[in-house]
Amino acid sequence: DVKVTQSSRYLVKRTGEKVFLECVQDMDHENMFWYRQDPGLGLRLIYFSYDVKMKEKGDIPEGYSVSREKKERFSLILESASTNQTSMYLCASSLSPGSTDTQYFGPGTRLTVL
Amino acid sequence: GENVEQHPSTLSVQEGDSAVIKCTYSDSASNYFPWYKQELGKGPQLIIDIRSNVGEKKDQRIAVTLNKTAKHFSLHITETQPEDSAVYFCANNQAGTALIFGKGTTLSVSS
């Protein structure tokens, strides 16, 4: 089975802190994604990557950056956390480039910024 | 930009009843329409998908229908069970690069 793991289930940070959210997949998938999930807003794409060191902006990239140094790992970085970044963050991966492959999601990280 | 509208946002049914969730989309180039189920405390999981070359697909108690002319697709769950209670998301591919998700439907099945 495909497994997508996220480094933390719950995280509490202070405004202005630099925050790293880590995601690892174990199935040699090409594509990796970061979403945020907020009540009433569904899943919104922040960034995705289709290859090592490649990244593409999603719908809401402002205030975030990403890093993909190895194929299995995709990191989301909040350079200076703000309270409006309090949310559930979901990582996903899919096998090949293109948008018609099944996405496999991690369990999510609930981030609270105080 | 492109979007997908999902209705209803909440749905309550009695065990054994059917449930229907509908989505409309705007990108006429979309050709892939998956449905994801998110149980409490977990990430979303694909339950069924349909591609634009077919109008309906079934998998046991769940089915998806697609009307490309009207740009809408629907999830049908028959003989609902308490374990069907979850949040359901529709999605479609936008410009061949990424999925756009609906805002979700919270389905509650009471026994």
How sure is the predictor about B97, in pLDDT bands with cuts at 50, 70 and 90? Answer: low
Nearest CB partner across the interface for B93, out of A43, A48, A100? A100
Closest CA to A43 of B105, B65, B8, B67: B105
- Contact list in B for residue A107 (CB cut-off 8 A) is 41-43
CB contact (8 A) between residue B97 and residue A45: no
User: Average pLDDT, whole number, for chain A?
Assistant: 94
pLDDT of residue A6: 96
The minimum CA-CA distance between A12 and chain B, rounded to whole Å, is 18
How sure is the predictor about A61, in pLDDT bands with cuts at 50, 70 and 90? Answer: very high
Question: Which residues of A fall below an 8 Å CB-CB distance to B?
Answer: 4, 33, 35, 40-45, 48, 56, 58-59, 90, 92, 98-100, 102-103, 105-108
On the question of pLDDT at A78 being above 90, the answer is yes
DSSP letter, residue B53: T
- Contact list in A for residue B46 (CB cut-off 8 A) is 102-103
Burial class of residue B2, CB neighbours in 10 A (0-12, 13-18, 19+): middle
On the question of pLDDT at B87 being above 90, the answer is yes
- Contact list in A for residue B101 (CB cut-off 8 A) is 35, 42-44
How sure is the predictor about B96, in pLDDT bands with cuts at 50, 70 and 90? Answer: low
Average pLDDT over residues A53-76: 95
Q: What percent of chain A has pLDDT over 70?
A: 97
On the question of pLDDT at B3 being above 90, the answer is no
How sure is the predictor about A101, in pLDDT bands with cuts at 50, 70 and 90? Answer: confident
In sequence order, what DSSP letters do the residues of A13-72 get, joined into one string?
Answer: E-TT--EEEEEEESS--SEEEEEEEETTTEEEEEEEESSTT--EE-S--TT-EEEEEETT
Pick the more confident residue, B54 or B48.
B48
The minimum CA-CA distance between B93 and chain A, rounded to whole Å, is 6
Asked if residues B108 and B11 have their Cβ atoms less than 8 Å apart, the reply is yes
CA distance B100 to B93: 6
On the question of pLDDT at A110 being above 80, the answer is yes
Average pLDDT over residues B70-85: 97
pLDDT of residue B95: 64
pLDDT of residue B2: 65
pLDDT of residue B27: 85
Q: Quick one: closest CA in A to B91, which residue?
A: A43
Q: Is B10 on the interface with A (CB under 8 A)?
A: no
On the question of pLDDT at B1 being above 70, the answer is no
On the question of pLDDT at A1 being above 80, the answer is no
pLDDT of residue B74: 98
CA distance A46 to A63: 10
